[in-house]
Amino acid sequence: MGGCVSKTDRAGKQRSDEIDKQIEEDNKRFKRECKILLLGAFFLRLSWIRLGADCRCRSSFRLPPSFLGVPLVLVLAAAALPITPPLLPSLVRPSFRSLIYPTPHPDRRSSYVVRPPALLIPVAVAAPPSPLLRSGESGKSTIVKQMKIIHKNGFSPSELAEYRPVVYKNVLDSAQQVVLYMRKTGMECVEYANRALAEKILDYRLEDGSAARVPYFSPEIAEAIHQLWKDPIIPKIMDEHSSDFYLMDSAGYFFGEVLRIGSPGYLPNETDVLRARQKSVGITETRFTMGQLSIHMFDVGGQRSERKKWIHCFESVTSIIFCTALSEYDQVLLEEKTQNRMAESLVLFESVINSRWFLRTSIILFLNKIDVFKNKLPRVALERYFPEYTGGPDINKAAKYILWKFMQANRARLSVYPHLTQATDTTNIRLVFAAVKETILQNALKDSGIL
């Protein structure tokens, strides 16, 4: 099967080659770098900061300078945290026109220096961190990992090894969450012998297996989780009660692989890394190229306490990638049990797309986790949370309805390019980003005045 290439793949490759050629020709005119900023938070409390060519940010992190006034910044926004009513459109007062002044240059007698316009943008005031803010699993960090796999030759053995403690923690946390829910609701394992295993799992703590204090996941606890996973009550809880407690989307995958994960000498593979869940802290940068297009991607922490570290990166936004999880339609925010996460995502999208800040911006909308959505829809009715939906368990109708909800928020009539994505599927993301590359190129050419 690996040697079969569909007509769609061949057409996509041909189009990608054409785009690469066009970018190469365009690079003769000016140098371009595409900056991608990945966000995972909402604005809660706002204050003002002035950004401009001479701004000084408190954070030591600085974006590289723009090239000839045509920086291309993509914002991958993930809806995860609660916000107050949408203040962003009315608060933001930027100017989009770059200011060109004849300015002395230290290396030349005279030159034109392009200065980015000063922007007034809202900045979140620091707030105490909360352990409940981990719920923003929209898939933005998984997309960063995919870019490394697709465009940077993947992960080295040492980089894979760094994810070992993350995988261990994901497996143990997921198993303990299931057991805690069973204890809370009074459910018992069908197999009597598994009841003792459930208590053993709940009491287990990751051990330090070396002088380097690397967490050690014992084969015994792996076997206990494996046996518990085979108990009929566990799939029932995960299928019928997934909306009642927090459980990461990849819990089933890790339970199925737990014996391999618990074996001596375990080294995570790329699938494990893509499935692993780790809170984004600070700003993580990734550089890669798509053909001749240079990409500079920023993955930022989504917690409230992290916002002050990345908010200044909003300068000179040209395009936005907005990422939301289709499967979150039945989920609520852990810190606000009455707030539906899909509804919050729609509020953020409305705030972004109708902001004066983004009047000339195109929106690339990633409706992510289509695989989880497809499995959940027959079990958890979408109309239970969105009563106006009448399409039943039809995956196409449900996805189109959610897309319609997002498009209804587009009062500014910006160009929106939607994609159904599965961030853990490398083939899917490769094809999606081939289309995204074309969008990026077209926007860059328009922004530079070539088109």
Query: Which residues are known catalytic residues?
Result: 137, 142, 277, 299, 303
Q: Is 294 annotated as a binding-site member?
A: no
Q: Is 84 annotated as a binding-site member?
A: no
Q: Is 40 annotated as a binding-site member?
A: no
Q: Is 212 annotated as a binding-site member?
A: no
Q: Is 280 annotated as a binding-site member?
A: yes
What is the number of other CB atoms lying within 10 angstroms of the CB of residue 98?
16
Q: Is 303 annotated as a binding-site member?
A: yes
Q: Is 139 annotated as a binding-site member?
A: yes
Q: Is 302 annotated as a binding-site member?
A: yes
Query: Among positive and negative, which fits the CA dihedral 345, 349, 350, 352?
Result: positive
Euclidean distance between CA atoms 375 and 330, whole angstroms? 13
Q: Is 6 annotated as a binding-site member?
A: no
Q: Is 300 annotated as a binding-site member?
A: yes
Q: Is 208 annotated as a binding-site member?
A: no
Q: Do 100 and 369 form a contact (C-beta atoms < 8 A)?
A: no
Structure tokens at 121: 């943008």
Q: Is 368 annotated as a binding-site member?
A: yes
Q: Is 203 annotated as a binding-site member?
A: no
Euclidean distance between CA atoms 366 and 199, whole angstroms? 40
Query: Annotated binding site for Mg(2+): which residue ranges?
Result: 141, 280
Residues comprising the binding site for GTP?
A: 137-142, 249-250, 299-303, 368-371, 423
Q: Which parts are annotated binding residues?
A: 137-142, 249-250, 280, 299-303, 368-371, 423
